[in-house]
Structure 1
Amino acid sequence: MRWWLKARRIAPVLAPGLVTIVLALGLFADTDASLVSWTVSNQTVPLLTFAPLILAATLALSLDSRLPEAELTSTRRLPSLDMLLIVSAVSATLAAAWFAHQVTHADSTLVVGRNALFLTGLMLVARGFVGRGGIVVATGWVLIVILVGRRTPTEYFPWAVTGLPISTSRATTAAIAAFVLGVLMTYLTARKLP
Protein backbone atom coordinates (compact mmCIF):
# COMPACT_ATOMS: atom_id res chain seq x y z
CA MET A 1 0.00 0.00 0.00
CA ARG A 2 2.81 2.42 0.82
CA TRP A 3 4.43 1.98 -2.58
CA TRP A 4 1.06 2.60 -4.26
CA LEU A 5 0.68 5.90 -2.36
CA LYS A 6 4.17 6.91 -3.47
CA ALA A 7 3.67 5.71 -7.05
CA ARG A 8 0.43 7.72 -7.37
CA ARG A 9 2.21 10.78 -5.93
CA ILE A 10 -0.72 11.64 -3.70
CA ALA A 11 1.23 13.85 -1.28
CA PRO A 12 3.26 15.87 -3.81
CA VAL A 13 0.61 16.15 -6.56
CA LEU A 14 -2.99 15.45 -5.55
CA ALA A 15 -2.97 16.97 -2.05
CA PRO A 16 -1.63 20.38 -3.22
CA GLY A 17 -4.24 20.34 -6.00
CA LEU A 18 -7.03 19.89 -3.48
CA VAL A 19 -5.59 22.65 -1.28
CA THR A 20 -5.48 24.94 -4.33
CA ILE A 21 -9.17 24.26 -5.01
CA VAL A 22 -10.05 25.10 -1.40
CA LEU A 23 -8.08 28.36 -1.66
CA ALA A 24 -9.77 29.22 -4.96
CA LEU A 25 -13.20 28.58 -3.43
CA GLY A 26 -12.36 30.95 -0.60
CA LEU A 27 -10.73 33.68 -2.65
CA PHE A 28 -12.72 33.79 -5.90
CA ALA A 29 -16.29 32.86 -4.93
CA ASP A 30 -17.75 36.08 -6.35
CA THR A 31 -15.08 37.05 -8.88
CA ASP A 32 -15.81 37.22 -12.59
CA ALA A 33 -13.51 37.80 -15.54
CA SER A 34 -14.30 39.25 -18.96
CA LEU A 35 -13.39 36.66 -21.56
CA VAL A 36 -13.76 36.49 -25.32
CA SER A 37 -16.75 34.68 -26.76
CA TRP A 38 -17.57 34.00 -30.41
CA THR A 39 -21.33 33.94 -29.84
CA VAL A 40 -21.97 36.94 -27.57
CA SER A 41 -20.28 40.17 -26.59
CA ASN A 42 -19.57 41.44 -23.08
CA GLN A 43 -19.23 37.98 -21.57
CA THR A 44 -18.17 37.54 -17.97
CA VAL A 45 -17.17 34.14 -16.62
CA PRO A 46 -16.71 33.20 -12.95
CA LEU A 47 -13.03 32.56 -12.21
CA LEU A 48 -14.12 29.38 -10.43
CA THR A 49 -14.99 27.96 -13.87
CA PHE A 50 -11.37 26.80 -14.06
CA ALA A 51 -11.13 25.32 -10.52
CA PRO A 52 -12.49 21.85 -11.44
CA LEU A 53 -9.70 21.53 -14.00
CA ILE A 54 -7.23 21.58 -11.11
CA LEU A 55 -8.83 18.43 -9.74
CA ALA A 56 -9.04 16.74 -13.14
CA ALA A 57 -5.42 17.58 -13.98
CA THR A 58 -3.90 16.52 -10.66
CA LEU A 59 -5.99 13.36 -10.59
CA ALA A 60 -4.92 12.53 -14.15
CA LEU A 61 -1.28 13.06 -13.21
CA SER A 62 -1.67 10.87 -10.13
CA LEU A 63 -3.33 8.08 -12.10
CA ASP A 64 -0.69 8.32 -14.83
CA SER A 65 2.10 8.01 -12.26
CA ARG A 66 2.36 4.27 -12.33
CA LEU A 67 4.84 1.46 -12.30
CA PRO A 68 3.46 -0.58 -15.23
CA GLU A 69 5.60 -3.69 -14.73
CA ALA A 70 4.87 -3.90 -11.01
CA GLU A 71 1.19 -3.18 -11.48
CA LEU A 72 0.70 -5.77 -14.22
CA THR A 73 2.15 -8.49 -12.02
CA SER A 74 0.67 -7.29 -8.74
CA THR A 75 -1.78 -9.45 -6.84
CA ARG A 76 -3.29 -6.43 -5.11
CA ARG A 77 -6.48 -4.92 -6.39
CA LEU A 78 -4.93 -1.77 -7.84
CA PRO A 79 -7.97 -0.81 -9.93
CA SER A 80 -9.99 -0.79 -6.69
CA LEU A 81 -7.41 1.43 -5.02
CA ASP A 82 -7.54 3.79 -8.00
CA MET A 83 -11.35 3.89 -7.72
CA LEU A 84 -11.00 4.77 -4.04
CA LEU A 85 -8.54 7.53 -4.94
CA ILE A 86 -10.89 9.00 -7.55
CA VAL A 87 -13.97 8.89 -5.34
CA SER A 88 -12.06 10.32 -2.36
CA ALA A 89 -10.62 13.24 -4.35
CA VAL A 90 -13.98 14.12 -5.89
CA SER A 91 -15.74 13.74 -2.53
CA ALA A 92 -13.22 16.09 -0.92
CA THR A 93 -13.89 18.64 -3.67
CA LEU A 94 -17.66 18.30 -3.26
CA ALA A 95 -17.32 18.77 0.51
CA ALA A 96 -15.13 21.84 0.02
CA ALA A 97 -17.63 23.31 -2.46
CA TRP A 98 -20.54 22.70 -0.07
CA PHE A 99 -18.64 24.24 2.84
CA ALA A 100 -17.64 27.27 0.74
CA HIS A 101 -21.29 27.72 -0.22
CA GLN A 102 -22.31 27.65 3.46
CA VAL A 103 -19.79 30.42 4.18
CA THR A 104 -20.13 32.61 1.06
CA HIS A 105 -23.66 31.76 -0.18
CA ALA A 106 -22.26 32.00 -3.72
CA ASP A 107 -23.84 29.57 -6.18
CA SER A 108 -20.57 29.50 -8.13
CA THR A 109 -19.07 27.39 -5.33
CA LEU A 110 -21.71 24.68 -5.79
CA VAL A 111 -21.16 24.81 -9.54
CA VAL A 112 -17.50 23.94 -8.86
CA GLY A 113 -18.62 20.70 -7.20
CA ARG A 114 -20.95 19.76 -10.04
CA ASN A 115 -18.36 20.65 -12.67
CA ALA A 116 -15.71 18.68 -10.78
CA LEU A 117 -17.92 15.61 -11.24
CA PHE A 118 -18.49 16.33 -14.92
CA LEU A 119 -14.94 17.28 -15.93
CA THR A 120 -13.34 14.49 -13.91
CA GLY A 121 -15.73 12.01 -15.51
CA LEU A 122 -15.03 13.43 -18.95
CA MET A 123 -11.28 13.20 -18.36
CA LEU A 124 -11.57 9.60 -17.12
CA VAL A 125 -13.68 8.54 -20.12
CA ALA A 126 -11.22 10.20 -22.50
CA ARG A 127 -8.28 8.47 -20.74
CA GLY A 128 -9.84 5.16 -21.72
CA PHE A 129 -9.43 6.12 -25.38
CA VAL A 130 -6.50 8.53 -25.58
CA GLY A 131 -4.56 7.80 -22.39
CA ARG A 132 -2.73 10.81 -21.04
CA GLY A 133 -4.49 13.14 -23.45
CA GLY A 134 -7.69 12.82 -21.43
CA ILE A 135 -7.06 16.06 -19.57
CA VAL A 136 -6.95 17.90 -22.91
CA VAL A 137 -10.54 16.82 -23.57
CA ALA A 138 -11.72 18.23 -20.21
CA THR A 139 -9.81 21.47 -20.73
CA GLY A 140 -11.10 21.73 -24.30
CA TRP A 141 -14.66 21.35 -23.04
CA VAL A 142 -14.28 24.33 -20.70
CA LEU A 143 -12.77 26.46 -23.46
CA ILE A 144 -15.48 25.51 -25.98
CA VAL A 145 -18.19 26.44 -23.48
CA ILE A 146 -16.49 29.80 -22.91
CA LEU A 147 -16.07 30.47 -26.64
CA VAL A 148 -19.39 29.25 -28.08
CA GLY A 149 -21.53 28.04 -25.19
CA ARG A 150 -23.71 31.09 -24.68
CA ARG A 151 -26.94 31.89 -26.45
CA THR A 152 -27.11 35.36 -24.81
CA PRO A 153 -24.80 37.12 -22.33
CA THR A 154 -26.79 35.52 -19.48
CA GLU A 155 -28.03 32.23 -21.01
CA TYR A 156 -26.05 29.13 -22.00
CA PHE A 157 -27.00 26.52 -24.60
CA PRO A 158 -28.39 23.30 -23.04
CA TRP A 159 -25.25 21.30 -23.99
CA ALA A 160 -22.93 23.71 -22.13
CA VAL A 161 -23.06 21.74 -18.88
CA THR A 162 -20.23 23.56 -17.11
CA GLY A 163 -21.79 26.97 -17.69
CA LEU A 164 -25.34 26.20 -16.60
CA PRO A 165 -26.63 27.37 -13.19
CA ILE A 166 -26.63 24.94 -10.27
CA SER A 167 -30.43 24.76 -10.41
CA THR A 168 -30.31 23.05 -13.84
CA SER A 169 -31.18 19.43 -13.13
CA ARG A 170 -30.08 18.13 -16.55
CA ALA A 171 -26.58 19.51 -15.93
CA THR A 172 -26.42 17.73 -12.57
CA THR A 173 -27.67 14.51 -14.19
CA ALA A 174 -25.06 14.82 -16.95
CA ALA A 175 -22.32 15.42 -14.36
CA ILE A 176 -23.26 12.35 -12.34
CA ALA A 177 -23.55 10.21 -15.49
CA ALA A 178 -20.15 11.39 -16.76
CA PHE A 179 -18.52 10.63 -13.42
CA VAL A 180 -20.04 7.15 -13.10
CA LEU A 181 -19.10 6.33 -16.70
CA GLY A 182 -15.58 7.66 -16.13
CA VAL A 183 -15.07 5.58 -13.00
CA LEU A 184 -16.39 2.49 -14.78
CA MET A 185 -14.13 3.13 -17.78
CA THR A 186 -11.12 3.58 -15.50
CA TYR A 187 -11.88 0.33 -13.70
CA LEU A 188 -12.20 -1.58 -16.97
CA THR A 189 -9.03 -0.15 -18.54
CA ALA A 190 -6.84 0.31 -15.44
CA ARG A 191 -4.27 -2.36 -16.30
CA LYS A 192 -4.29 -1.62 -20.03
CA LEU A 193 -3.20 2.01 -19.86
CA PRO A 194 0.49 2.77 -20.45
Structure 2
Amino acid sequence: MRWWIGARRARFLVPTALAAFLIPLLAVQNIRVALPSLIGSPQIALTLFVPVPLLACLMHILESRLPAPEDSGVRPVDRYDAGLVAVLSAAALGCALLVTALGGTEDAAASGRNVLFLAGLMLLGRAAFGPAAVLVPVAWLVLVVGIGFRGNVARLWTVVPQSAHDVPAAVVSLLVFGAGVTTLIFVPRKAL
Protein backbone atom coordinates (compact mmCIF):
# COMPACT_ATOMS: atom_id res chain seq x y z
CA MET A 1 0.00 0.00 0.00
CA ARG A 2 2.85 2.39 0.80
CA TRP A 3 4.38 2.00 -2.65
CA TRP A 4 0.99 2.67 -4.24
CA ILE A 5 0.55 5.91 -2.24
CA GLY A 6 4.07 6.92 -3.20
CA ALA A 7 3.55 6.12 -6.89
CA ARG A 8 0.31 8.11 -6.94
CA ARG A 9 1.92 10.96 -4.93
CA ALA A 10 -1.30 10.96 -2.94
CA ARG A 11 0.14 12.60 0.17
CA PHE A 12 0.77 15.77 -1.81
CA LEU A 13 -1.78 15.64 -4.62
CA VAL A 14 -4.94 14.82 -2.62
CA PRO A 15 -4.65 17.93 -0.39
CA THR A 16 -3.68 19.95 -3.47
CA ALA A 17 -6.79 18.73 -5.30
CA LEU A 18 -9.02 19.63 -2.36
CA ALA A 19 -7.44 23.08 -2.11
CA ALA A 20 -7.90 23.53 -5.87
CA PHE A 21 -11.60 22.85 -5.29
CA LEU A 22 -12.19 24.68 -2.02
CA ILE A 23 -10.40 27.98 -2.72
CA PRO A 24 -12.27 28.75 -5.97
CA LEU A 25 -15.51 27.54 -4.37
CA LEU A 26 -15.13 30.13 -1.62
CA ALA A 27 -14.06 32.81 -4.10
CA VAL A 28 -16.84 32.57 -6.69
CA GLN A 29 -19.97 32.06 -4.61
CA ASN A 30 -22.92 34.23 -5.63
CA ILE A 31 -21.19 35.24 -8.86
CA ARG A 32 -23.16 34.71 -12.03
CA VAL A 33 -21.96 35.68 -15.47
CA ALA A 34 -23.64 35.89 -18.85
CA LEU A 35 -21.88 33.46 -21.16
CA PRO A 36 -22.41 33.30 -24.91
CA SER A 37 -24.59 30.43 -25.99
CA LEU A 38 -26.10 29.15 -29.20
CA ILE A 39 -29.56 29.93 -27.89
CA GLY A 40 -29.13 33.11 -25.87
CA SER A 41 -26.95 34.43 -23.12
CA PRO A 42 -27.84 32.62 -19.89
CA GLN A 43 -26.70 33.74 -16.45
CA ILE A 44 -24.43 30.93 -15.27
CA ALA A 45 -23.06 30.45 -11.75
CA LEU A 46 -19.26 30.34 -11.79
CA THR A 47 -19.41 27.51 -9.26
CA LEU A 48 -20.34 25.32 -12.23
CA PHE A 49 -16.67 25.32 -13.27
CA VAL A 50 -15.12 24.87 -9.81
CA PRO A 51 -14.78 21.03 -10.03
CA VAL A 52 -12.51 21.17 -13.10
CA PRO A 53 -9.16 21.67 -11.26
CA LEU A 54 -10.01 18.89 -8.81
CA LEU A 55 -10.79 16.55 -11.70
CA ALA A 56 -7.53 17.46 -13.42
CA CYS A 57 -5.64 16.59 -10.23
CA LEU A 58 -7.60 13.35 -9.93
CA MET A 59 -6.69 12.31 -13.48
CA HIS A 60 -3.06 13.19 -12.80
CA ILE A 61 -3.14 10.99 -9.70
CA LEU A 62 -4.66 8.08 -11.60
CA GLU A 63 -2.20 8.37 -14.46
CA SER A 64 0.91 8.60 -12.28
CA ARG A 65 1.19 4.85 -12.25
CA LEU A 66 3.98 2.37 -12.75
CA PRO A 67 2.61 0.30 -15.66
CA ALA A 68 4.92 -2.72 -15.60
CA PRO A 69 4.73 -3.55 -11.86
CA GLU A 70 1.03 -2.74 -11.65
CA ASP A 71 0.06 -4.80 -14.70
CA SER A 72 2.06 -7.83 -13.59
CA GLY A 73 1.38 -7.57 -9.85
CA VAL A 74 -1.26 -9.32 -7.80
CA ARG A 75 -2.27 -6.39 -5.64
CA PRO A 76 -5.72 -4.90 -6.32
CA VAL A 77 -4.39 -1.56 -7.58
CA ASP A 78 -7.66 -0.82 -9.39
CA ARG A 79 -9.56 -1.15 -6.13
CA TYR A 80 -7.06 1.12 -4.41
CA ASP A 81 -7.59 3.68 -7.18
CA ALA A 82 -11.37 3.35 -6.84
CA GLY A 83 -11.07 3.90 -3.08
CA LEU A 84 -8.95 6.98 -3.67
CA VAL A 85 -11.50 8.37 -6.15
CA ALA A 86 -14.34 7.70 -3.69
CA VAL A 87 -12.50 9.30 -0.76
CA LEU A 88 -11.45 12.37 -2.75
CA SER A 89 -14.97 12.83 -4.16
CA ALA A 90 -16.58 12.36 -0.75
CA ALA A 91 -14.12 14.87 0.75
CA ALA A 92 -14.99 17.41 -1.96
CA LEU A 93 -18.70 16.85 -1.34
CA GLY A 94 -18.11 17.27 2.39
CA CYS A 95 -16.19 20.52 1.82
CA ALA A 96 -19.00 21.82 -0.38
CA LEU A 97 -21.65 20.95 2.20
CA LEU A 98 -19.55 22.55 4.93
CA VAL A 99 -19.25 25.76 2.91
CA THR A 100 -23.02 25.74 2.42
CA ALA A 101 -23.64 25.12 6.14
CA LEU A 102 -21.32 27.97 7.11
CA GLY A 103 -23.39 30.46 5.19
CA GLY A 104 -22.57 29.72 1.59
CA THR A 105 -25.10 29.47 -1.18
CA GLU A 106 -26.80 26.34 -2.39
CA ASP A 107 -24.55 26.63 -5.46
CA ALA A 108 -21.72 25.38 -3.24
CA ALA A 109 -23.64 22.20 -2.38
CA ALA A 110 -24.54 21.73 -6.03
CA SER A 111 -20.85 22.02 -6.85
CA GLY A 112 -20.14 19.08 -4.54
CA ARG A 113 -22.78 17.01 -6.31
CA ASN A 114 -21.26 18.05 -9.63
CA VAL A 115 -17.90 16.63 -8.57
CA LEU A 116 -19.54 13.21 -8.37
CA PHE A 117 -21.25 13.56 -11.76
CA LEU A 118 -18.24 14.96 -13.61
CA ALA A 119 -15.80 12.49 -11.99
CA GLY A 120 -18.05 9.65 -13.10
CA LEU A 121 -18.13 11.04 -16.64
CA MET A 122 -14.35 11.38 -16.62
CA LEU A 123 -13.85 7.80 -15.44
CA LEU A 124 -16.26 6.49 -18.07
CA GLY A 125 -14.41 8.50 -20.71
CA ARG A 126 -11.07 7.21 -19.41
CA ALA A 127 -12.06 3.68 -20.44
CA ALA A 128 -12.35 4.87 -24.04
CA PHE A 129 -9.91 7.78 -24.34
CA GLY A 130 -7.29 7.15 -21.64
CA PRO A 131 -5.76 10.25 -20.03
CA ALA A 132 -7.37 12.53 -22.63
CA ALA A 133 -10.65 11.88 -20.81
CA VAL A 134 -9.78 14.76 -18.49
CA LEU A 135 -11.45 16.86 -21.20
CA VAL A 136 -14.77 14.98 -21.02
CA PRO A 137 -16.08 17.02 -18.03
CA VAL A 138 -14.93 20.23 -19.73
CA ALA A 139 -16.72 19.18 -22.93
CA TRP A 140 -19.87 18.49 -20.89
CA LEU A 141 -19.71 21.96 -19.35
CA VAL A 142 -19.20 23.57 -22.77
CA LEU A 143 -22.19 21.59 -24.10
CA VAL A 144 -24.31 22.69 -21.15
CA VAL A 145 -23.38 26.34 -21.63
CA GLY A 146 -23.84 26.11 -25.41
CA ILE A 147 -27.24 24.43 -25.66
CA GLY A 148 -28.32 23.51 -22.14
CA PHE A 149 -30.43 26.54 -21.28
CA ARG A 150 -33.78 27.85 -22.40
CA GLY A 151 -33.49 31.48 -21.41
CA ASN A 152 -32.08 31.26 -17.88
CA VAL A 153 -33.71 27.91 -17.13
CA ALA A 154 -31.49 24.83 -17.36
CA ARG A 155 -32.81 21.89 -19.33
CA LEU A 156 -33.38 18.69 -17.38
CA TRP A 157 -30.61 16.65 -19.08
CA THR A 158 -27.87 19.11 -18.13
CA VAL A 159 -27.62 17.91 -14.48
CA VAL A 160 -24.81 20.27 -13.39
CA PRO A 161 -26.70 23.61 -13.30
CA GLN A 162 -29.66 22.13 -11.42
CA SER A 163 -30.27 23.30 -7.86
CA ALA A 164 -28.72 21.50 -4.92
CA HIS A 165 -32.16 20.19 -3.90
CA ASP A 166 -32.90 18.60 -7.28
CA VAL A 167 -33.43 14.90 -6.54
CA PRO A 168 -33.19 13.62 -10.15
CA ALA A 169 -29.85 15.42 -10.59
CA ALA A 170 -28.55 13.84 -7.37
CA VAL A 171 -29.69 10.38 -8.44
CA VAL A 172 -28.13 10.73 -11.89
CA SER A 173 -24.90 12.02 -10.32
CA LEU A 174 -24.69 8.99 -8.02
CA LEU A 175 -25.46 6.58 -10.87
CA VAL A 176 -22.85 8.11 -13.19
CA PHE A 177 -20.28 8.16 -10.37
CA GLY A 178 -21.01 4.51 -9.54
CA ALA A 179 -20.71 3.54 -13.21
CA GLY A 180 -17.40 5.40 -13.49
CA VAL A 181 -15.93 3.76 -10.39
CA THR A 182 -17.13 0.34 -11.60
CA THR A 183 -15.48 0.99 -14.95
CA LEU A 184 -12.27 1.98 -13.18
CA ILE A 185 -12.24 -1.34 -11.34
CA PHE A 186 -13.31 -3.73 -14.09
CA VAL A 187 -11.94 -2.32 -17.36
CA PRO A 188 -8.51 -3.90 -17.87
CA ARG A 189 -5.57 -1.52 -17.68
CA LYS A 190 -4.08 -2.91 -20.86
CA ALA A 191 -7.10 -1.65 -22.82
CA LEU A 192 -6.24 1.88 -21.72
Fold match, TM over 0.5?
yes
TM-score band, normalised by the shorter chain? Answer: over 0.9
Q: Is the 8 A contact 1:93 1:116 kept in 2?
A: yes
Secondary structure of the corresponding residue to residue 168 of structure 2: helix
What runs of 5+ residues in structure 2 fail to find an aligned partner? Answer: none
Q: Is the 8 A contact 2:30 2:105 kept in 1?
A: yes
Give the drift of 1:115.
Answer: 0.5
Question: Residue 155 of structure 2 corresponds to which residue in structure 1?
Answer: 157
Is the CA contact 2:47–2:108 (under 8 Å) kept in the aligned structure 1? Answer: yes
User: How many residue pairs end up in the alignment?
Assistant: 192
Q: Does structure 1 conserve the Cα–Cα contact (< 8 Å) formed by 2:20 and 2:54?
A: no
Where structure 1 has 5 or more consecutive residues not aligned to the other structure, the ranges are none
Tell me the SS of whatever aligns to 2:189.
coil
Calculate percent identity across the aligned residue pairs.
29
Question: What SS does the aligned partner of 2:21 have?
Answer: helix
Contact 1:53/1:139 (8 A) holds in 2: yes
Preserved CA contact (<8 Å) 1:156 1:163: yes
8 Å CA contact 1:35–1:44 kept in 2: the answer is yes
Aligned to 2:5: 5
C-alpha deviations, 1:22-49, integer Å up to 9, x for none? 11222222122221111123x2211111
- Indicate whether 1:189 and 2:175 are aligned: no
Q: Does 1:133 align with 2:136?
A: no
Checking the alignment, whether the CA contact within 8 Å between 2:25 and 2:47 is kept in structure 1 is yes
2:83 is aligned to 84
Counterpart residue identity of residue 28, structure 1: V
Summarize the alignment of residues 8-157 of structure 1 with structure 2, pairs less than 5 Å apart: 8-41=8-41, 43-153=42-152, 155-157=153-155
What amino acid sits opposite 1:168 in the alignment?
Answer: D
Q: Is the 8 A contact 2:116 2:173 kept in 1?
A: yes
What TM-score results when the alignment is normalised by the length of structure 2? 0.94
More deviation, 117-126/155-164: 155-164
Letter in 1 for 2:22: V
Query: For residue 10 of structure 1, what is the amino acid of its counterpart?
Result: A
